[in-house]
Amino acid sequence: MSAGRILVVDDDPQIRRAMRATLTARGYQVSDTRTGEEALDKVRSETYDLVLLDMNMPGVGGIETCRLIRSSSDIAIIMLTVNNTDKAKVEALDAGADDYVTKPYSTPELLARIRANLRRLPQAPDDAGLRQLTLQGVELDLPSRHVNVRGRTSRLTAREFDLLSYFLARPNRTIAHRELLQAIWGPDYGDELEYLRVFVNRLRKKIEPDPSKPRFLVTDAAAGYRFHFPH
Amino acid sequence: MIASKESKFHYIFEGYPRKAGRLALRFVLALSLVAAITFVFFRLIHVNATTVGFFYLVGILVIATVGGFPEASVSSVVAMLCFNFFFLPPLGTFTIADPQNWVALFAFLATALTASQLSARLKSQTKDALDRQREMERLYALSRAILLTDNTQPAAKQIAHQIARAFEYASIALYDRHTSEVYVAGPAALPEMDAVRPKLTEVAIQSRVLRESEGILIAPIRLGGEPIGSLAIGHPSLSDAALHSLLSLVAVGLEKARAQEEVNRAQVARESEELKSTLLDAIAHEFKTPLTSVKAVTTDLLSNPDEPLSPQQRGLVAIADEGADRLARLVTEAVQLARIEGGKFQLNRGVHFPSSLLSAALRQAKSLTDGRDIQLQVADDLPLVFVDAGLVGMVIAHLIDNAAKYSTPGSPILIGAGVSESSVIVHVTDQGPGITADEQSRIFGKFYRGTQGQHLKGTGMGLAIAREIIRAHGEDIWVRSSPGKGSEFCFSLPIASEDGAE
């Protein structure tokens, strides 16, 4: 039984070979392509659980490919790049990636990230009876992950949903960055503050009536984030 | 008297001999007309004295209209004398018998003088109006030309050329204070222009108009009270107003060129910065791509629990793995240093707790400090600092890394933070072999490796990068050490102000 289907997208043949060998040995089903265009075709025609996407590719490029995949799919995306700056990380996450790994990566680290991204938190908050939630003009349909704010409907990605569920289960409590990162991304995380920044902003865009003045998802100075749940 | 509005800059020596000759000719012609009227009515046609008087008047009016006031007034007096001598009884004398004729004679003289003056004034006003119109046209032509200056030649040179062309000056000189250059233009660049060169600077700074005896006018060019140059014109015939407009136009033209030049320079700098950045990214990518596959394979072999390597294989693969790590770090640091050295890296500053910067750096350096005795000493209630957390974290991690590398495995590493008057001081102390005074002055230089550390992994760039990063924050990094007693590296960080910024 396969541990998961992974699509590797990288223009360097050696990296594709190395990844294929490593991942196949760990029980994953691997298929690979060398361009963003081919990746888009494959994602449309076949089913994958996760995409390992190189950021720096000729043609469409990794960021644009990520955006295009994300526009039609909730599949987990991990971006890989040699660029280790916050700017590049934020760019990747903003484009819809779930995670980010710097090249050259170490194989155990990559495997841990893949496992973390294939693992999903329970699909509903701890308060299991809750299916539909309405807060001050914001309607959340938990099973379908749809959000409706003033007639504008959007769908949360799996990761956004996990984050929101975690907040909803702990209303009106400041949750530290580290706790959020380890709960949502996994035990190997903790310092990736830019992940939180990007994902909280994405959530705000979807659930806040005015994302620039958040009413629900508030920042608590240097400590963390808090979900303000009106009584 | 020529109309008082006429310019002070109207130089009489402009073609002086030619003008005097023309005036003499005009007098001759005027007096000839008076003589002709006298001759015709004295010898050829005999009419009464009143009729002759009217003809004299008409003649004077013609002279005043065609010529100017001087010849008209002289002609009036001559005509009056002729009228008296030839036509008023007793004829052939300047005496007048009938007192009524005295009245007629003075009426004649007054009419002649008034008419000639009116006519002359009208003429001079017309000429003035035409001159003003011409000046306006020239200023307009010049303003257009100044707008169209390009960057093929210095703007001041083009403007000088355009002034000479628009105003048809034989020679002008323009001094641009910004470049300290003098540009001489005009079809006949007069030798005097070379002589005024030193005076151009003086006029520009003193901001007063200077008139040279050779007929050269030197005027300062100012913009918003700021002297930006001066203009020398040979034999100008400009009204004050036109001169001021001309100077303002030149000021605007020079300023526009200077602003454009600044924009261009900034653009070039930005483009070369972008090019450099792109190039550095490309280099990093090209080096790291093959390293990625090497690293993927070595780490896989070393970590795969299903197919463990024999101790000997493990040792060999570990060598390749460490080599790849070292090469990757070398590329990263070389690119980082190149980027930082360009002086244009942007600090992504924020307000941070010094203690969280330290603990984040400790986690980053975790693999290098495994099994080491790390002692953290952070003072209570340290103020927040306003720094780029990523870059400062890199500096701390590098210092911890160095401390671990250059000291014996059993010795402790002390990491601390305290506060001085205006900054937070972070220090990393080891009990390694120490650094000699001579070496202390060199360790922050590029590619410098301590004499003790020749066998150690490293690029020799870390401290150079650390210094660039700390200096970019406006702070400093230093070392206190003596051989055999370990080393203490310290650097300062700016304290965040109350409102959350520096």
**Cβ-defined contact of B284 to A15 (cutoff 8 Å):** no
How far CA A21 is from CA of A26, A79, A107, B293, in Å, comes to: 9, 19, 11, 11
- Residue whose C-alpha is closest to residue B249's, from B405, B411, B140, B334: B140
- Tell me if B471 sits within 8 A of B450, measured CB to CB: no
Cβ-nearest to A86 among B292, B328, B390: B390
SS3 state at B158: helix
H/E stretch holding B220 reads: strand B216-223
Q: How far apart are CA A57 and CA A10, in angstroms?
A: 7
- Closest Cα partner for B376 from B318, B418, B416? B416
Model confidence, pTM: 0.56
Helix (H/G/I), strand (E/B), else coil: A156: coil
Which residues of chain A lie closer than 8 angstroms to B294, CB-CB? 104
pLDDT tens by residue, chain B, 502 residues: 333 333 333 333 344 456 677 888 888 988 899 899 888 988 888 888 888 888 888 888 888 777 777 888 888 888 888 888 888 778 887 777 777 777 777 877 787 778 778 877 888 888 888 988 888 888 888 888 888 888 788 888 888 888 888 888 778 888 888 888 888 887 776 666 677 777 888 888 887 888 877 778 888 888 888 888 888 887 777 778 888 888 888 888 888 888 888 888 888 877 877 787 788 888 888 899 999 999 999 999 998 888 888 999 999 999 999 889 888 888 887 887 777 776 666 777 888 888 888 888 887 777 667 778 888 888 878 888 999 888 898 899 889 888 888 888 888 899 999 988 889 999 999 988 888 888 887 888 776 666 555 555 566 778 888 888 898 888 999 999 888 888 999 999 999 886 544 4
- What are the chain B neighbours of A103 within 8 Å (beta carbons)? 288-289, 291-292
Instruction: Tell me whether strands A29-33 and A5-9 are parallel, antiparallel or unpaired.
Output: parallel
Residue B313 makes CB contacts below 8 A (sequence gap 6+) with B301
Q: Where are the domains of chain A?
A: 5-118, 132-227
- What's the CA gap between A87 and A93, in Å, rounded? 10
Q: B348, B469 in Cβ contact below 8 A?
A: no
User: How far separated are the first and last CA of chain B, in Å rounded?
Assistant: 72
Lowest-confidence segment of A29-38, A182-191, B450-459 by average pLDDT: B450-459
Beta bridge partners of B429: B414, B488
The residues near B361 (Cβ < 8 Å, ≥ 6 apart) are: B393, B394, B396, B397, B400
For chain A, how many helices (H) and strands (E)? 8, 12
Q: Work out whether strand B216-223 and strand A224-227 pair parallel, antiparallel, or are unpaired.
A: unpaired
Name every chain B residue with its beta carbon within 8 A of the beta carbon of A177: none
β-sheet with A217-220: strand ranges across: A174-176, A224-227, A217-220
Cβ neighbours around A68 below 10 Å, total: 18
Answer left, alpha or beta for residue B24, where phi above 0 means left and psi between -120 and 50 means alpha: alpha
Contact criterion met (CB < 8 Å) for A12 and B356: no
User: Do the chains contact at B293 and A190, CB–CB below 8 Å?
Assistant: no
Helical H runs in B40-98? 49-66, 69-82
Chain A residue whose CA is closest to B283: A82
Q: Which CATH number fits domain A5-118: 3.40.50.2300, 2.60.40.10, 3.30.565.10, 3.30.460.80?
A: 3.40.50.2300
Please answer whether residues B412 and B375 qualify as being in contact, where contact means their C-beta atoms are separated by less than 8 angstroms: yes
CB contacts, 8 Å: A110 with chain B = 296
pLDDT digits (tens, 9 = 90+) for A69-96: 988 888 899 999 888 777 888 889 889 8
Architecture of domain A132-227: Orthogonal Bundle (1.10)
